[in-house]
Amino acid sequence: MSQLGKIFLYIALVGVLCSVGAGYYLSTLYAKGRADIAAATAANATAVADAKKQKGLAEAAALKEADAEKKLADQTADLTKKTTDLAAAQAKVDDVQKALDQAKADGAKAVADLAELNKQLDGSTVADIKAARDKAVADAASSASEQKIIADQLQAAKGEVEQLKKDINASKIGMIPPGVSGKVTFVNRTWNFVVIDVGLSNGVVPNGQLIVYRKNSFLGKIKVTTADTNSAVADILPDSKGDIQVGDYVLN
């Protein structure tokens, strides 16, 4: 082979080698690019899923807070009404007490008048004396009857006051402040009750209700029956939708 032919052959070999190297390099870049795109796509999908989860939790928390605020507002309104009724009932008791005092004073006066008439019997006709005595006796009997009626009214008014006081105290039972949260530590499926790890020191009181959830899923409601300092026992309400388990969260 001539010298020129060898040169051309070398040039051709170099060209082939360059083409092979360039192809390999481009193939490597292409593979790396696809891997980077796949990693970015996966990261974006994870970020979107996390955002949706956080949004769901935020919406659930907002609904729970709104429900707790409405419940507290209703209980406060009921307590305010009962307090107003108590004040009205107490005023009624005061009025009846005044009427009873006046009736007693009238009765005492009637008795005094009868005694005075007995002193003034001298010089009076039998008819006058009889009429005066009959009137005094009738006045005394009327006063005694009035006292009995007013005393009965006073007793009824006092009973109404006591009942309203009981109603107000009963209204205060079951008012768990918003934000109380804890966990289920025991579940009894036979008797349909649970034990939770929050109690009186956290604001949990008998007859109060809490919702039960797992992650962002609503499971149902429970109603507290008894409460100690740091724990409480609660019945699972019939409208519960999920299978409540140990470790589930409770919230007011």
| Tens of pLDDT, residue by residue, the chain (252 residues) | 678 777 777 787 777 777 766 667 777 877 787 887 778 788 778 877 877 888 888 787 778 777 768 877 877 787 788 888 878 878 887 887 888 889 788 878 878 877 777 677 666 677 877 888 888 888 888 888 889 999 889 898 888 877 765 555 455 557 899 999 999 999 999 999 999 999 999 999 999 999 999 998 999 999 999 999 999 999 999 988 889 999 999 999
Distance spanning both ends of the chain, measured CA to CA: 96
Where does a domain end: 138, 172, 206? 172
Q: Are residues 110 and 167 in the same domain?
A: yes
DSSP state of 245: -
How far apart, in whole angstroms, are the C-alpha atoms of residue 116 and residue 133? 11
Q: Which domain holds residue 221?
A: 175-251
Report residue 163 as tokens: 């009942």
Cβ(231)–Cβ(202) below 8 Å: no
Where does a domain end: 119, 143, 172? 172
| Main-chain phi, psi angles of 74, to 5 degrees | -65, -45
3-state secondary structure of 232: strand
H or E stretch at 217: strand 217-227
Number of domains within the chain: 2
Q: Is residue 84 part of a domain?
A: yes
| Inter-CA distances, 37 with 23, 33, 43, 44, 96, Å | 21, 6, 10, 10, 88
Cβ atoms < 10 Å from Cβ of 103 = 20
| Inter-CA distances, 104 with 8, 90, 117, 152, 158, Å | 142, 21, 20, 14, 19
Please tell me the predicted confidence (pLDDT) of residue 131: 84
Q: Is the overall model pTM greater than 0.75, yes or no?
A: no
